C-alpha cells in the first residue's frame, strides 16, 4: 500500500490543520472536512483507511456521521471530543467509533493511536484479501457453516 488515506473531520481550523501537519509528516495522505456532511462526501469519493471525527460540529455532528458511515464502511474511526464524561465516551464507542480521544490531547498520543489502528486495519485487509483469493467460485459460507461444491466438502466452525 502506497500511503494510508486519513480523513480529519473537525470544525476548529487550528486543530484540523495541526493534525493534518502531523499526519503528513508521517507520510499519510490527508483529507479534511469541517463538518460531518462534507466528511461523508469525501468518503464517497475517496478510499479512506481511517477517520478522525470531532463530535460537536455544525451541519452534521460526528455521532450522526459515524452512524451513517458505519452503514457501508468498516475502517477505523477515532472520535475526538471535548466531551469527557463516561457516558459520552460510551456513546461514541457504542455507535461505531473504534477509539475516543478527549480534548485537549497530545499530538504524539493521537499519532500513536492512528498508527495502532492502521496497523490492525492493514492486517484485517490482508486477511480479507487472502480469504477472497482462497474462496472458489462455488464456495459458500454462512455463520460457521462452509460449503465447497467443487471439492464436495462441508465444514462447521472451521
pLDDT in tens, 22-37: 999 999 999 999 999 9
For 63, the grid coordinates are 455521532
Q: How confident is the model at residue 131, as a pLDDT?
A: 60
Contact 88, 63 (CB under 8 A): no
Return d(Cα 97, Cα 100) in angstroms, integer.
7
Q: Which residues of the chain register pLDDT less than 70? A: 1-2, 130-137, 158
Q: Which residues contact 13 (CB under 8 A, 6 or more apart)?
A: 34
Q: Give me the domains of the chain, ranges plus CATH numbers.
A: 5-156 (3.40.50.2300)
DSSP-H helix ranges across the chain: 13-25, 36-45, 62-70, 86-94, 107-134
| DSSP 3-state of 40 | helix
Q: How confident is the model at residue 141, as a pLDDT?
A: 78
What are the C-alpha distances in Å from 138 to residues 14, 130, 155, 157? 53, 17, 14, 19
What is the percent of the chain where pLDDT is above 70? 92
Q: How confident is the model at residue 126, as a pLDDT?
A: 82
Amino acid at each position: 500500500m502506497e500511503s494510508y488515506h486519513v480523513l480529519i473531520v473537525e470544525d476548529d481550523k487550528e486543530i484540523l490543520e495541526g493534525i493534518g501537519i502531523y499526519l503528513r509528516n508521517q507520510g499519510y495522505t490527508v483529507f479534511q472536512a469541517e463538518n460531518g456532511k462534507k466528511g461523508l462526501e469525501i468518503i464517497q469519493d475517496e478510499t479512506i483507511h481511517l477517520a478522525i471525527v470531532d463530535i460537536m460540529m455544525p451541519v452534521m455532528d460526528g455521532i450522526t456521521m459515524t452512524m451513517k458511515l458505519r452503514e457501508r464502511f468498516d475502517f477505523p474511526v477515532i472520535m475526538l471530543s471535548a466531551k469527557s464524561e463516561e457516558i459520552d465516551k460510551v456513546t461514541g464507542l457504542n455507535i461505531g467509533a473504534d477509539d475516543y480521544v478527549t480534548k485537549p490531547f497530545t499530538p504524539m498520543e493521537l499519532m500513536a493511536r492512528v498508527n495502532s489502528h492502521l496497523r490492525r486495519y492493514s492486517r484485517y485487509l490482508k486477511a480479507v484479501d487472502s480469504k477472497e483469493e482462497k474462496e472458489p467460485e462455488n464456495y459458500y459460507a454462512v455463520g460457521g457453516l462452509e460449503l465447497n461444491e467443487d471439492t464436495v466438502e462441508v465444514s462447521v466452525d472451521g
